């Protein structure tokens, strides 16, 4: 069992947080990431990219700002390395396939593992095209996390659950990432379908989860894990200190 999968076996709802490498700047991103990591069970680190097709306005702006500051994949590795030096909690890179291919699958996997990364999420890499990355990551000891959408039929979700490593990322709503005032009406039904299709494979529900009440609703529906991203990135964008960001994430945990 990988460290990432073990985080979902603790007998409680697993809280997954997200930060963008290079936000709020190239120096203080470590401070903010540590604050979030202190309160979550798993931390996703966003790798700045010029065409983040799965991300909504808040995280897209973070990509743009981080790139303008000179944040790169190497900087994301450095951030992971700094966090790994102080924590044993799982770290996951959230990136797109282009930077991975540019680096070379084997090189990327080796560098990610050396930085202390446990898993990788590639939102633009469908199951049918994921074998090369999955094989390269597995050889390096990394989990490739697959994604399922609200439109994923049960039989395909079962295939995704079988193929994924660490956990299955289940998208709660149609569209891109982004904080929402309320969860979409289909969220509970998506959780129910995932529970039926995934069997013993853990999954986490994300996209639009932005308030303690959302976390409670998804946990009550039976979601083994919940992902919060844009709500955290938005607070960093508006200038919240690391302690303020940590307090918000603590409210999600409570």
- Write the DSSP symbol of residue 84: H
Helix 105-114 vs helix 73-84: angle between axes, to the nearest 10 degrees? 30
Which of 23, 39, 44, 240 is catalytic? The answer is 44
The number of helix segments (H) and strand segments (E) in the chain equals: 12, 9
Q: Which two tokens stand for residue 137?
A: 């990551």
Which of 55, 60, 118, 143 is catalytic? The answer is 55
60 is catalytic: no
Backbone φ, ψ for residue 4 (5° rounding): -65, -50
Residues in CB range of 139: below 8 A, 6 or more apart: 106, 109
55 is catalytic: yes
- The answer to whether the CB of 233 falls within 8 A of the CB of 17 is no
Q: Which two tokens stand for residue 48?
A: 């700045």
Residues in CB range of 214: below 8 A, 6 or more apart: 182, 183, 208, 226
Active site residues: 44, 55
């Amino acid at each position: 069992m990988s460290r990432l999968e073990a985080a979902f076996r603790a007998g409680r709802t697993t809280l997954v947080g997200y930060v963008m490498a290079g936000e709020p700047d190239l120096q203080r991103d470590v401070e903010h990431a540590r604050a979030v990591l202190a309160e979550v069970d798993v931390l996703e680190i966003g790798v700045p990219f010029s065409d983040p097709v799965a991300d909504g306005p808040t995280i897209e702006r973070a990509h743009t700002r981080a790139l303008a500051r000179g944040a790169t994949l190497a900087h994301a590795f450095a951030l992971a390395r700094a966090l790994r030096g102080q924590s044993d909690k799982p770290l996951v890179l959230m990136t797109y396939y282009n930077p991975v291919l540019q680096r070379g699958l084997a090189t990327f996997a080796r560098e990610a593992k050396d930085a202390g990364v446990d898993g990788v999420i590639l939102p633009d890499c469908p199951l049918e095209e994921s074998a090369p990355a999955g094989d390269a990551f597995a050889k390096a000891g990394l989990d490739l996390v697959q994604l399922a959408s609200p439109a994923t039929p049960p039989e395909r979700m079962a295939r995704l659950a079988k193929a994924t490593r660490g956990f299955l990322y289940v998208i709660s709503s149609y569209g891109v990432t982004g904080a929402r005032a309320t969860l979409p009406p289909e969220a509970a039904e998506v959780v129910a379908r995932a529970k039926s299709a995934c069997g013993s494979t853990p999954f986490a529900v994300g996209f639009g989860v932005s308030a303690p009440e959302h976390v409670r609703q998804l946990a009550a529906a039976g979601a083994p894990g919940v992902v919060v991203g844009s709500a955290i990135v938005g607070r960093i964008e508006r200038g919240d200190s690391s302690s303020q960001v940590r307090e918000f994430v603590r409210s999600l945990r409570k």
